[in-house]
Amino acid sequence: MENKYDIFMAAFRNLTKLKIITLLTNHDKMTVTQMSKYIKTTRSNIYQNISELLKNNIVLEPEIRVKKNYVEKYYRLNNDFFDFDEFALEKEITKLSNEDFRNLLKSFFLAQSMNLNIIAEEIDGLDDRDINKLKTIESMDKMMTSYGAVSDKFSTELIKVYKEFIKKYDEENKVHKKEHEDELNIFLFLIFPNIKYLV
């Protein structure tokens, strides 16, 4: 029987599954019709991948809503599935073959690209009132956008701080689970070697 990490990484390496997971992370629950606006593939392919995600307990059984003469199925992520030790996952990733590791990295970056596209589309749809809310001091205190290049030493130190913070957050989250049920802020942390200096 496959362990949870193998199931997670197999789903992560499948681009359609990864896009479904990314969409559900951003939108809480969606129908296949709603997903098809973002995922450029056939609906039958989305349904097939959703059923595999259901079978692997990554997605929950759909919430069914009857509207006039049709039925809508809303899918959502099983958040309990993703409750695993990030550091154990890192160890599992290092065991991957070079080809699997390459595909996993590609999938990860494509998912982040999709995340950023979703956010950009949502920003584009905001009216002036919502934009003014985003510009308040309270919102700016919760917002950080940054891009740049740093040294290996700085990256190593920053990653250490990040890992310590995540470990502490995970421990607190286990004790106060109810307090973290509604995640209000999107978080993307990325440090990656500049490829041109690796080759």
Domains of the chain plus CATH, in order, are 4-125 (1.10.10.10), 144-199 (no CATH)
Give CA–CA dist 28/74, Å, rounded. 9
Give CA–CA dist 188/186, Å, rounded. 7
Q: Which helix (H) or strand (E) holds 70?
A: strand 70-76
For residue 27, give every residue at least 6 positions away whose Cβ sits within 8 Å of its Cβ, in sequence order, or none.
34, 118
Per residue of the chain (199 residues), what is the pLDDT tens digit? 468 888 888 888 888 998 899 899 888 899 999 999 888 889 999 999 999 999 999 999 999 999 888 889 999 999 888 877 777 778 888 888 899 888 888 888 888 888 888 888 888 888 999 888 888 877 778 887 777 888 889 889 988 998 888 888 777 776 665 554 555 677 777 777 777 776 6
Structure tokens at 30: 């969606």
Q: How far apart are the first and last CA of the chain?
A: 39
